Amino acid sequence: MTDRDSPSRLILIKHSLPEMQIQTESRFWQLSQEGRKRCGPLADKLRRFDLTRIVSSNEPKAVETAELLASQLSRTHIVRPGLQETDRTGLGFRGFEAYQETFRRFFAEPDMVIVGTETAEEARGRFATAVGGVLEEFPDQTLAIVAHGAVISLLVSEPNHEDRFRLWKRLGQPSYVVVSRPSLEIVEEFYGVD
20 has pLDDT over 90? no
Rounded to whole angstroms, what are the CA distances from 22 to 28, 95, 104, 130, 167?
11, 10, 21, 29, 25
Domain ranges of the chain: 3-190
Q: How confident is the model at residue 24 (pLDDT cuts 50, 70, 90)?
A: confident
Q: pLDDT band for position 5 (50/70/90)?
A: very low
Model confidence band, residue 109 (pLDDT cutoffs 50, 70, 90): very high
Nearest to 16 by CA among 38, 44, 43: 38
Indicate the pTM of the whole model: 0.93
Confidence of residue 151 (pLDDT cuts 50, 70, 90): very high
Q: Which amino acid is at 121?
A: E
CATH number belonging to the domain at 3-190, selected among 3.40.190.10, 1.20.1250.20, 3.30.1360.70, 3.40.50.1240: 3.40.50.1240
